[in-house]
């Protein structure tokens, strides 16, 4: 059985989702806890589950039952379903499902579910409280990774608000970075990363 594409090198700059995975490969260890705040079709969920191993735990959120079903099928196909718990709720309720300081990493992949209704999108009024909850859930040295998609209706505003919110972490000692393509014909997705001070 082949696994999703994780090349050891790139001919071109990596997509934001690929880069997030590459960065977290050096962070997550077997036995860690992690959160996929927007599980979508399950690719981030699968990545997290494989990184934390059988002794670890992954909590995966989505508001769409189709997304949960797709993600569950994927992790079961690759034999890592036992360490994943799915939550059919908004990521805005993340704080209700995890203890402070329990997680090594939290991932967000904003926007809409590929192949589904593009009117069902993440929105900043739910994403910003979820990000705040994620900062509490992370342990010292934990990583917050957010892929933003400014190229769809509603995505521009959400991406801008999330970026401003992430910049606001820096006075508290968080290390924050932005990665994305330049010179594209339409707004390109970009990755925001924040590391909690230890």
- Beta-carbon-side half-sphere exposure of residue 64 (alpha carbons within 13 Å): 21
| Per-residue pLDDT, 85 | 97
Residue 67 placed within a domain: yes
Measuring CA to CA, how many Å separate 127 from each of 28, 147, 184?
23, 12, 26
Q: What are the DSSP E strand ranges found in 19-125?
A: 33-36, 57-61, 84-87, 103-109
pLDDT tens for 123-137 read 677 899 999 999 999
Nearest to 43 by CA among 6, 85, 96, 91: 6
pLDDT on residue 137? 97
Within-domain flag for 3: no
Question: Quick count: other Cβ atoms within 10 Å of Cβ 114?
Answer: 11
The predicted structure's pLDDT at residue 11? 73
Mean pLDDT by 10 residues, the chain (198 residues): 51 89 96 96 96 97 92 97 96 92 96 56 79 97 94 73 95 95 83 96
For residue 144, the enclosing domain spans 16-195
Count of other CB atoms within 10 angstroms of residue 188: 16
d(CA 49, CA 21): 12
Separation in Å, CA 144 to CA 45, 112, 155: 15, 20, 19
pLDDT digits (tens, 9 = 90+) for 73-90: 999 999 999 999 999 999
**189 within some domain:** yes
Q: How confident is the model at residue 1, as a pLDDT?
A: 41
CATH of the domain at 37: 3.40.50.150
Q: What is the pTM of this model?
A: 0.89
Q: Would you say residue 31 lies in a domain?
A: yes
Residue 58 falls within a domain, yes or no? yes
Per the structure, the count of domains in the chain is 1
Q: Is residue 4, in this structure, part of any structural domain at all?
A: no
Task: Note whether residue 66 is domain-resident.
Answer: yes
DSSP state of 37: S
pLDDT at 56: 98
- Give the pLDDT score at 149: 86
Report which secondary-structure segment, H or E, holds 178. Answer: strand 175-180
- Residue 161 domain flag: yes
Cβ neighbours for 158, distance < 8 A, ≥ 6 positions apart = 110, 121, 122, 123, 124, 127, 148
- Residue 27's nearest CA partner among 5, 48, 44 is 48
């Amino acid at each position: 059985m082949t696994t999703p594409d994780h090349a050891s090198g790139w001919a071109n700059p990596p997509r934001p989702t690929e880069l997030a995975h590459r960065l977290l490969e050096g962070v997550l260890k077997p036995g860690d806890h992690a959160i996929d705040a927007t599980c979508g079709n399950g690719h981030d969920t699968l990545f997290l589950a494989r990184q934390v191993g059988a002794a670890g735990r992954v909590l995966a959120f989505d508001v769409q039952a189709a997304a949960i079903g797709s993600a569950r099928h994927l992790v079961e196909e690759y034999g890592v379903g036992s360490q994943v718990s799915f939550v059919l709720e908004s990521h805005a309720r993340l704080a209700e499902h995890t203890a402070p300081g329990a997680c090594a990493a939290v991932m967000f992949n904003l926007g809409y579910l590929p192949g589904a209704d593009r009117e069902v999108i993440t929105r900043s009024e739910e994403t910003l409280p979820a990000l705040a909850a994620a900062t509490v859930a992370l342990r010292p040295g934990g990583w917050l990774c957010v892929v933003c998609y400014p190229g769809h209706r509603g995505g521009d505003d959400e991406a801008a608000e999330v970026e401003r919110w992430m910049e606001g972490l820096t006075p508290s000692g968080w290390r924050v970075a932005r990665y994305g393509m330049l010179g594209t014909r339409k707004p390109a997705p970009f990755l925001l990363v924040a590391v909690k001070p230890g």
